[in-house]
Amino acid sequence: MQMTGNTILITGGASGIGRGLAEAFHSKGNTVIIAGRRRALLDEVVAANTGMKAIVFDIDSAASIQNLSEQLTRDYPALNTVIHNAGIMRAETLLNGQVQDAEATITTNLLGPIRLTAALLPLLVKQASSTLMTVSSGLAFVPLAMMPTYCATKAAIHSYTQSLRYQLQDTSVKVLEIAPPYVQTELMGQDQLIDPRAMPLEEFVAETMHILEYSENATEICVERVKPLRLAEANKDYQNFFNNLQKF
């Protein structure tokens, strides 16, 4: 993709992978707008990155998404890149009969990006060149059973992205999917930040940016650490991989 001169919206840009990508694109001279629920965290990122912009919005709210779309269209008419990074990950015990976490996960991880895509496509298709990126997961391809709805939403995002790419093939919008491995973020709590099994965030961001810049025809952005998950079925090792993953 074009790496400079873009106007980029990154949801969930105040922490983790979202912040890492925001700062990487900002350092290349792009106009970067981070969006999320937590004003204090957004302000912290903006203070550390002169010129970066921030908008408070709630990915779970259809009204908030519509307001965000209207604000972006008004204030950033050159918006040509959207990165759907906002997401939550919660462990679930399916035998307890509770569905609150499942419903919240579906709303944030799946319905939110679908709504925001629909709201922003009229602006993106007007640009001479634009990019829409979803963020799935290596767990879209081999699920971690303790996180059933998270994995299901990421599998759905993978499928949705393929359909979106096909439907937009004759427009100016390039559709990409970032599929991260287990990365040192706070997605599952503070312990994940220092878990030696997780890929350091800086390494993940650097490798992802390299692929985006130099792999012109790539539609799935997969760092080396995620390829065993992505290719487990193709390598005819799915069941063994699935069984071993549950020992996490």
Residue-wise pLDDT tens digits, 52-90: 999 999 999 999 999 999 999 999 999 999 999 999 999
Give the pLDDT confidence of 146-167 residue by residue, as tens digits.
Answer: 999 999 999 999 999 999 999 9
Evaluate whether 53 touches 33 at the Cβ level (below 8 Å).
yes
Give the pLDDT confidence score for residue 248 in this predicted structure. Answer: 85
Give the pLDDT confidence score for residue 181 in this predicted structure. Answer: 97
- The whole-angstrom distance between residue 102's C-alpha and the CA centroid of its chain comes to 19
Residue in 76, 150, 182, 214 annotated catalytic: 150
pLDDT at 188 over 90: no
Is 150 noted as a catalytic residue in this protein?
A: yes
Could you list the beta-strand ranges (E) of the chain. 7-11, 31-36, 53-56, 81-84, 130-135, 173-178, 220-221
- The whole-angstrom distance between residue 163's C-alpha and the CA centroid of its chain comes to 17
Q: Specify the pTM.
A: 0.96
Strand (E) or helix (H) holding 209: helix 201-214
Beta-bridge partner residues of 9 = 33, 82
Give the pLDDT confidence score for residue 189 in this predicted structure. Answer: 85
Domains of the chain in sequence order: 7-245 (3.40.50.720)
Q: For a pLDDT cut of 70, what percent of the chain falls above it? A: 100
Evaluate whether 9 touches 81 at the Cβ level (below 8 Å).
yes
Give the pLDDT confidence score for residue 190 in this predicted structure. Answer: 87
**Placement of tokens 């980029």 in the chain:** 8
Give the pLDDT confidence score for residue 65 in this predicted structure. Answer: 98
pLDDT at 186 over 90: no
